Amino acid sequence: MRSLNPGLKLLATVIASLMLSLTYNVPVNLVVAASCLLVTLLTPGVNRRRLALTMVPFALTALAFFTTGLFFGTAGDASGVQTSAFGQRTLYATDWTTAMQLASRVLAYGGLGVLFAFTSNAFELVMSLMQQFRLPPKFAYGVLAAYHFFPVVTEEFTVVGAALKVRGVRASPFSTKRLLPMLAHALERSESLAMAMESRGFEDGAPRRVAFRVPVRARDVFFLVAVPAAIAAGLILLR
Amino acid sequence: MAQSKGAEKKDYGWKLQEIVFVAMSCIVLGVVYLAAVYLSAFINTAGTPVGLGFLGNELLFGVWFMASTFAAYIIQKPGVALVSEILAALIEVLLGNMYGPMVIVTGLVQGIGSEIAFAAFRYRRFDWTTMTLAAFLCCVISFVWSFVRSGYGELAFGLLVLFFVIRLVSSVVFCDVICKVVADRLAGTGLLKGYALGRSHE
């Protein structure tokens, strides 16, 4: 999985997600989720602890969807059961079908997302988007430059929070008091970054050569065709 | 390069600095969002047993469009709202968002929402009206998208109304009020001189 072309892998997972989002097939959703997780687990070098931690919010979201679908679904055979506000039904007429459909879909998205996130590298993805999907270099390198500031910004978040605390100001994450200094720093930083890039000869439209080539091989194309084909087959066969 | 003939002809291309700025604000908003997700997790968990576990998600939904209206309000060019929402989604994917590549499609859909709002006024008005309209359209379009993506069509009508109202409130608070207030204050500091918003504040 790791050596697949990340751009094509992205495309394949997007197509797969779209196919699943247009259908309500519980077995296919579950099979997709399980096989994605299995492949991710079998990929060498995947941090299993992190994988398990990532799955916790997914399980919670799926559970949330499950109960929502269970109590507020519309597809149940609940004719004649009295409905209260928000259409809540009694437990006898709860909607297991909707619940399973919604929850299994969240799990399938989760599987695909995890499969992609744990086996792809950000730098290679951007390079692939630039080389195979015509993302302009200006955007590719601009985004990469900002991306590498993620740890700095995370630290800044706590620093700004601490600075506010020292002054006795309580600020929620979205308080303008917290956002303003962070965005002001982001502005200054992006200005100097852009200037630094341009002063080192980064120019848009100039002919470029790439030192890091992301190839498209036969197996990448195979993956791109095979994943949607497998899902399509599943949708037809598993009812 | 960018200054060569931008004097009287309006320059619709992206400058490198604008791209980096949009990407950087996406990162800032992303970090803030991550912090807020922990808060919403409590609401989610508390709501799950009664079938309202999705409320927390809806409460924070507006944050997803913030990058788009924020960037469009500052840079004020056609296409900015759409492109910055896609950039925001790409950055989410780079950071390993748990919903994975699907986020890019969602970003595209939501970007179209706010883009329509600014296009309706031919990119000449960037004030409370267009910002609120952008927030509203983002909310509506993303809600339609939720029918496809999250299967909202399967849920009871009353619950959908509740979800819609919450998402609308969240969308107006986050990408209308907070974005505009922060951007105006930022312009007040004089840091935005190179951008359309900063120039209009002089």
B177 at A interface, C-beta within 8 A? no
B146 at A interface, C-beta within 8 A? no
Q: Which of residues 18-77 of B touch A (CB under 8 A)?
A: 19-21, 23-28, 30-32, 35-36, 39, 41, 44-45, 47-54, 57, 63
Question: Domain B16-196 is of which CATH architecture?
Answer: Orthogonal Bundle (1.10)
A86 at B interface, C-beta within 8 A? yes
**Bridge partners for B155 per DSSP:** A73
A164 Cβ contact list (under 8 Å, min separation 6): A170, A171, A177, A178
Q: Which of residues 156-175 of B touch A (CB under 8 A)?
A: 156-159, 162, 174
CB contact under 8 A, B155 and A69: yes
Q: Are A133 and A38 in contact (CB under 8 A)?
A: no
* Minimal Cβ distance to A73: which of B16, B23, B154: B154
Task: List, for residues A28-70, the tens digit of each pLDDT value.
Answer: 999 999 999 999 999 888 888 888 888 887 788 888 888 887 7
Find how far residue A132's CA is from the centre of its chain.
21
- Chain B residues in contact with A198 by the CB 8 A cut-off are 1, 16
Specify the pLDDT at position A170.
83
φ, ψ at A73 (rounded to 5°): -70, 165
Helix (H) or strand (E) holding B30: helix B16-47
DSSP A24: -
Domain ranges, ordered by start, for chain B: 16-196
Specify the pLDDT at position B12.
66
Share of chain A above pLDDT 70, in %: 91
**Shortest Cα distance, chain A CAs vs residue B162, angstroms:** 8
Domain ranges, ordered by start, for chain A: 6-133+214-237, 137-199
Residue A139 has pLDDT above 50, yes or no: yes
Split at pLDDT 50, 70, 90, the class of A91 is very low
Rounded to two decimals, what is the model's pTM? 0.86
Helix axes A96-119, A48-72, angle to 10 degrees: 160
A-B C-beta contacts closer than 8 Å: 246
CB contact under 8 A, B91 and A143: yes
Q: What's the mean per-residue pLDDT of chain A?
A: 85
Specify the pLDDT at position B10.
52
* Minimal Cβ distance to B20: which of A14, A64, A146: A146
B118 or B98: which carries more pLDDT confidence? B118
- Chain B residues in contact with A202 by the CB 8 A cut-off are 16
C-alpha distance from residue A229 to each of A16, A30, A81, B32 (Å):
9, 17, 42, 39
Q: What's the mean per-residue pLDDT of chain B?
A: 84
B97 at A interface, C-beta within 8 A? yes
- Chain B residues in contact with A142 by the CB 8 A cut-off are 16, 19-20, 23
CA pair distance A187, A192, nearest whole angstrom: 9
Split at pLDDT 50, 70, 90, the class of A204 is confident
φ, ψ at A119 (rounded to 5°): -115, 10
CA pair distance A99, A102, nearest whole angstrom: 5
Q: Are B53 and A63 in contact (CB under 8 A)?
A: yes
Q: Are B115 and B81 in contact (CB under 8 A)?
A: yes
Residue B112 amino acid letter: I
